[in-house]
Structure 1
Amino acid sequence: MSEFDVIKGFAFDMDGVLADTARFHTIAWRKIADEVGTTWTKELEEGLKGIDRMGSLALIISAGRHDDEYDQSAREALAEKKNTNYRELISTLTPADILPGMQQFLDELKAANYQLSVASASKNAPFIIERLGLADYFEAVVDPASVAAGKPDPAIFAAAAKVLNLEPEQVIGLEDSAAGIQSINGAGEISVGIGNANVLAEADVNFDKTADVTLNAIKVALDSK
């Protein structure tokens, strides 16, 4: 029996996998960076991928060497401001914003009776899934506030298997960030990376883009390992 044959479920990251909400995060975080006086760079933007809200804010503040200027209450206010900006932006999402190939892939998985969950660092994941018209595909959306630590810690992907009543080795996780791939691997699941193969070098299987992801392509890649 191959690795693929024992799979019964799939756990999806959201940003960069199901929809390109990352651009909205970038717009909202860049406003916060400007407010605290941190210069926005591509490296900083890349470093925020897959990281939760308070963790992202800490990175932005540290990047500008402003750590001593913001206590916990000030940080919480900034995080809330970012979230307000972000929610305004994501309220414009529609099913047309689902990334190429993902609707078809979800249809394929449901037709084959796989169980699906969402393992996103975003507390807004349920709202986004609703806006995209995908809520009926998923048995569960893991609440990132319910896990002990964010990505790259394995907790959220471990929870994504648990909510489906599956063992880790029965689940494939899909991610577009290095932190997310570490989380999947740490949870003992099979990792599928979508994006730059150098950045996602630790993934068990790599695809350049979402449109390349199909059930058969994953099976072929795993069977040829």
Structure 2
Amino acid sequence: MTDRLPHPPLRADALDNRARILSAARALFAAEGPNVPMREIARHAGIAPATLYRRFPTKQTLVAEAFAEEVRACHAIVEEGLADPDPWRGFCRVIEKTCELHAHNQGFTEAFLSGLPRTAEFSEGRAYMLRSLAELADRAQSTGRLRADFVLDDLVLVLLTNRGIRAASAAAHVSASRRFAALMIQAFQTSPERPPLPPAARLAPARPHETVRATAAAGSRK
């Protein structure tokens, strides 16, 4: 059996197209989630759809590559938490840093929680993180500081709720996410300690259709 020949290096124009595709994909995924049509990504990248499909034959491969940096960042956060000699402190830091990471890119939250993309590399990375988080939670519970009825799905609820934060600016979004993470940590702990919360952030007003729903709901309760 002959060795597989290495792929020839990409030409400068091909590298430029690839960078433009990934830049457009990351921006659209962050704003609209990973279900953005491929043609829309090609249009934002300023290239023909055929060029997009030459670089990324499937949507799955594009989503996996676009979120590769976030996956590596998640790995680093969880590994840092596991390496902390104080499991409760490591657990808290994982919640804080994960919420902040997901606040920067809500498209990644959707991809992570929905199981997209369904590629071996992304699936293995997600499974590794969940196993590691379960191990860290077990260690934190063994110290008596993490409540005994905590389950891993509680962290999924944290990410789902964190995804729903809408703030007046990107900086306010991160600030709101930090405050939310602090509230969740206080809910998870067994100790009655209540350290001061991070500063509150200016949140974005509700969208028009949400205001209508809220008004209608209030009227129905009268």
Q: Which has the higher helix share?
A: 2
TM-score, with length taken from structure 1: 0.34
Q: Name the structure, 1 or 2, with higher relative contact order (CA <8 Å, separation 6+).
A: 1
TM-score, with length taken from structure 2: 0.34
Larger Rg: 2
